[in-house]
Amino acid sequence: MLSSYKQNFIDLSISNEVLKFGEFTLKSGRVSPYFFNLGNVSSGKTISMIGAYYAETITRSSFKPDALFGPAYKGIPLVVTAAISLFDKHEINLPYAFNRKEEKDHGERGQIIGKRISGDVLIIDDVISAGTSIREAYKICKSMGANPVGAVVSIDRQEIGTQKKSSIEEVEQELGLEVLSIITLKDIIQYLEKDDSLHEHLPRMLKYESRYGVKQ
């Protein structure tokens, strides 16, 4: 059964055109019946609400991080809004940091902006596609002497990659991280099953899951 906070997150994503249905060609060449892009978030209200869902996912988990890290670029606003929501709604005050894509050689030199983090670190990002951003964030955290213990992303697409595993499974096994998501492909399918106005998209979603979905 789809929990209310997952359903509300999908509501928010659809109303802000973060989650769209149709035909979308992915980098992999696959034609997906849906597309999820947090880059479409463009208001203070919406990014604040997104942060609340990240914070809720963190507090529902077993993670007890000492700090948060957001990889450039999309991870930057996400780590900030997650940190704010953790404090405002859960009274959890965590330091955070994020990186520049290129190291600055003047003024405030270096690659890291924010606190030089240490201890157990939780990586905050939008999605894991190829896993490049998470792997880079993992290396940066390690270079600061921190211990990356997990990651939280908005969606787990739950589809196989070239190794017959999902990108999240590959990252978890390679880096030893636990990756949590606010929603999954199965959550979206459950949502469509109950929403008559979007029911027309369900057959294509089920076909896509059958063809590319991770076999449980």
Residue 182 CA to residue 164 CA, distance in Å, equals 23
Residue 128 CA to residue 154 CA, distance in Å, equals 9
State the greatest distance between any 2 C-alpha atoms of the chain, in Å, as a whole number. Answer: 56
What is the sign of the dihedral through the CA atoms of 101, 181, 31 and 191?
Answer: negative
Residue 76 CA to residue 103 CA, distance in Å, equals 16
For the chain, give the number of residues.
216
For residue 101, indicate whether it is catalytic.
Answer: no
* 186-191 contact pairs (CB < 8 A, 24+): 186/158, 187/2, 187/6, 187/10, 188/10, 188/19, 188/34, 190/1, 190/2, 191/2, 191/7, 191/10
Which one is catalytic: 45, 101, 106, 215?
A: 106
For residue 207, indicate whether it is catalytic.
Answer: no
Which one is catalytic: 104, 142, 199, 207?
A: 104
Residue 111 CA to residue 216 CA, distance in Å, equals 40
The residues that are catalytic are 104, 106
